Amino acid sequence: MSLSESKTELWNLDVSVAQPKNDTAPAPDGTSSTNPVRGAFEHYVQPCVGELLGSALFIFVGCLSVIENTEGTGRLQPALAHGLALGIVIAVLGEISGGHFNPSVSVSVFLIGGLKIQLLFPYILAQMCGGMIGAGLAKVVSPAINYANSSGAAFNTVQAVTQIGPATVAEVIMTLFLTLVVCMGAVNGRTRSLLAPLCIGLTVTADILAGGAVSGACMNPARAFGPAVVANYWEYHWIYWVGPMTGALLTASFIRLLLGDSKIRVLLR
């Protein structure tokens, strides 16, 4: 099954190509049957489970890389761990759910017409639950002293009011970069590429290396929410919602108005 064929079950960019799966097609034994339960399972349940599992695994690896970063590697260890983990889960689960694992990604993809409205909020809920599961598993396997010293991998970079502005702007820009790569590399017809998982993972790595000292380089409200719940650390938590969601809105605006192909763009179609 090709990338475009599988993802069009969830994405409705081109109705002439994106036909729903034919649940009345002949079965392997040559008989014809209708199975609406199977269709609902594959169109709604499987994608949400994929988002839950992928978010949990990605955030588990990301949190653990922060908690166990005791060897003086600075931002390199978390950057590589987050980027590699995200690229891998997108590659193996992207055919099922589209590989979002991030509420800001889901919002930007929805706004450019790449995700149906009935899946948007279930996706975000699955991602938030996955974040809590991943952060909880990281706590279970981590030494207590390392967990406490890192605030449970919750984002604690911002410690003063004077840091709020730079951190929020950094989150907006880094999330803009990430969601632009996702939307242009995996959704937009003219620029869609099989290298999208690699590009997305590398974008996360680059963002953490560049902006980790400014804001922690979250770019993902689920990645912020899970550790915050498990560690009960909420200092300046709102930054990691406002920044990424603003970046997602900017990405959707750029693609809808200027960069998207004729199926997505609203100007000069």
Predicted confidence (pLDDT) at residue 15 exceeds the cutoff of 60: no
Output the pLDDT for position 81.
Answer: 97
List, for residues 149-197, the tens digit of each pLDDT value. Answer: 999 999 999 999 999 999 999 999 999 999 999 999 999 999 999 999 9
Check residue 149 and give its pLDDT. 94
- Under the banding of pLDDT at 50, 70 and 90, the label for residue 23 is very low
pLDDT of residue 80: 97
Residue with tokens 């922690």: 216
CATH architecture assignment, domain 3-15+41-259: Up-down Bundle (1.20)
32 SS3 class: strand
* Bridge partner residues of 21 (DSSP): none
- Smallest CA-to-CA distance from 189 within 1, 16, 21 is with 16
Instruction: Report CA Rg, the chain.
Output: 19
- What are the tokens at 232? 């009960």
For 59-103, the pLDDT digits (tens) are 999 999 999 998 777 899 999 999 999 999 999 999 999 999 999
Task: Average the pLDDT over 13-17 and give the result.
Answer: 35
In the predicted model, is pLDDT for residue 2 greater than 50?
A: no
DSSP designation for 15: T
Structure tokens given for 260: 């998207």
pLDDT exceeds 80 at position 122: yes
pLDDT given at position 154: 97
Q: Residues with Cβ < 8 Å from 209, sequence gap 6 or more?
A: 75, 76, 79
Give the pLDDT of residue 70: 84
pLDDT > 90 in the chain, percent? 81
Rounded Cα distance between 248 and 110, Å, is 10
Q: What is the pLDDT of residue 188?
A: 95
DSSP string, 191-218: T--TTHHHHHHHHHHHHHHHHHHHH---
Domain limits, the chain: 3-15+41-259
